[in-house]
Chains A and B, each alone.
Chain A
């Protein structure tokens, strides 16, 4: 039984077709990388999955829920089970690290408790524990605007983890980081997938990194899913199909 089933997903922005009839499945605990040139629809796809963007057509089934049919409370609970990590971390930088991490619990809270920021002792301990796992134990009460990019992204991961998610969506999580911070982040994502059995879906520009970490690669071109297979199957021809004729040479090795 697949954790995520996407069927015939289509998205129009006015008359721009960003996704056309995309279908694929992701199993529980899988590590999937999504590659494709700029504008091929990667961001649109992951945002459709948790309904930050409303799809124009098709179905998205996550954990047996029909995502497109969900509203209000039900949508919030479904989103709580899907973590999200962003290129620009998207933290409230004026707040402390732990406050940002606890934002990951809002999907489970009543309006009032969430507005007042009332968290249980258990939730706070969980947040501290997760920060420890990510090597941020010394930064718990630090304001986020004092952190480096790599540290902020780890706070983003911690926020996703306290959601207790079944799946984490990552939209270019390392695009703003230097190579060594990028490796740290990718290693943490892999660890999360292998040890916690959380499904990881990651949009990424570097094909070599996608090949190294992912168990499966989805390749997009102009909104079409043109490749869906193991990294080993990604050869010169398929790379060319994803990135266009000229780019094929660049990725030949």
Chain B
């Protein structure tokens, strides 16, 4: 360590200075939160006082009743449809992202210009939040499952393009070099070096995006009027909180199940 800040310090001075910096950061965070709280009229105390009332309300209004239970088949139906939509969006986005990553990664690109383009496309698509995408397509395509699909597709596409590009460069660059030196053509290099070395990590990223998308699909459904989000919206707006909460329970259970499956798959792949 020899930055200009720490040059020529004794050990005790070094640690004292470190503690000082830490204290300053903590103090700044506290002050910031207090300032933010005042500005937004948010009082910590109010939240704590409200907790018991919220609990009572939840128990009274939210624990599923007979009616909510009869709706389970319908809810599961919509949930399964939403899950399939998320998986479809993730997988198609992954295929598109793979093509772009192969064009743009340092290891497999045809020309450096493609790297710049790829990075640009990936940053733009990735940094528009999924709900914003949903709104964009809502204006164009109206309320439909397709709108939700497109929103998930573009966010996933941007994220995976970047993840895949980095994976290719990290994992396969050295083997790619060896195969090029042996006279392999570009397609051969991709099939024999890039895919075998980076596929497990790419699949792991895809699983991660499927999980994420199943979670965001609810939110996207709320906005685009499709899938499980739409079902929740209907129950909620017609004040059938018990049925609405049944939807939440179903989502949580299914999401946990998906996460477990996905972790198991990941163990097999990696």
Contact = CB atoms under 8 A, between A and B. Distances in A.
Nearest to A116: B191
A114 B184 contact: yes
A54 to B, nearest CB: 13
Contacts, number: 85
A104 interface: yes
B182 interface: yes
Contacts of A75: 183
Contact of A103 (B184, B187, B197, B200): B184
Contacts of A90: 174-175, 177-178
Interface stretch (A22-30, A92-100, A175-183): A92-100
A195 to B, nearest CB: 22
B182 A80 contact: yes
Interface string A48-88: 00101000000000000000000000011111101110101
Contacts of B179: 103, 106
In this complex, the interface size class of chain B, counting residues with CB under 8 Å from chain A, is 20 to 34
Contact of A106 (B182, B197, B200): B182
B182 A84 contact: yes
Contact of A84 (B181, B187, B188): B181
A86 B178 contact: yes
Contacts of A116: 191
A236 B187 CA distance: 50
B127 interface: no
A144 to B, nearest CB: 10
Nearest to A104: B182
Nearest to B173: A90
A92 B188 contact: no
Nearest to B188: A114
Nearest to A102: B192
Contacts of A95: 196
A163 interface: yes
Nearest to B198: A94
B183 A117 contact: no
A173 to B, nearest CB: 13
A107 B183 contact: yes
B184 A52 contact: no
Interface in A135-167: 156, 159-160, 163
B16 interface: no
Contact of B183 (A76, A94, A111): A76
Nearest to B186: A111
Contacts of B184: 76, 103, 106-107, 114
A82 B183 CA distance: 9
Contacts of A117: 191-192
Contact of A88 (B174, B188, B193, B196): B174
B168 to A, nearest CB: 13
A95 B175 CA distance: 11
A201 to B, nearest CB: 13
In this complex, the interface size class of chain A, counting residues with CB under 8 Å from chain B, is 20 to 34
Contacts of B12: none
B171 to A, nearest CB: 9
Nearest to A160: B182
B70 interface: no
A79 B191 contact: no
A188 to B, nearest CB: 18
A242 to B, nearest CB: 27
Contacts of A82: 181
Nearest to A107: B183
Interface in B186-218: 187-188, 190-193, 196-197, 200
Interface in B107-149: none
B18 interface: no
Contacts of A77: 183
B174 A86 contact: yes
Interface in B38-59: none
Contact of A92 (B182, B183, B190, B197): B197
Nearest to B194: A92
A19 interface: no
A143 B200 CA distance: 15
B19 interface: no
B181 A52 contact: yes
A245 interface: no
Contacts of B175: 90-93
15 contacts: A79-B183, A80-B182, A82-B181, A84-B178, A84-B181, A86-B177, A91-B178, A92-B175, A103-B192, A106-B184, A106-B192, A109-B188, A114-B184, A115-B190, A115-B191
Interface of A: 50, 52, 75-80, 82-84, 86, 88, 90-95, 103-104, 106-109, 111, 114-117, 156, 159-160, 163
Given A80-B183, A83-B182, A94-B197, 8 more contacts: A50-B181, A76-B183, A90-B174, A95-B196, A103-B179, A103-B192, A106-B185, A114-B187
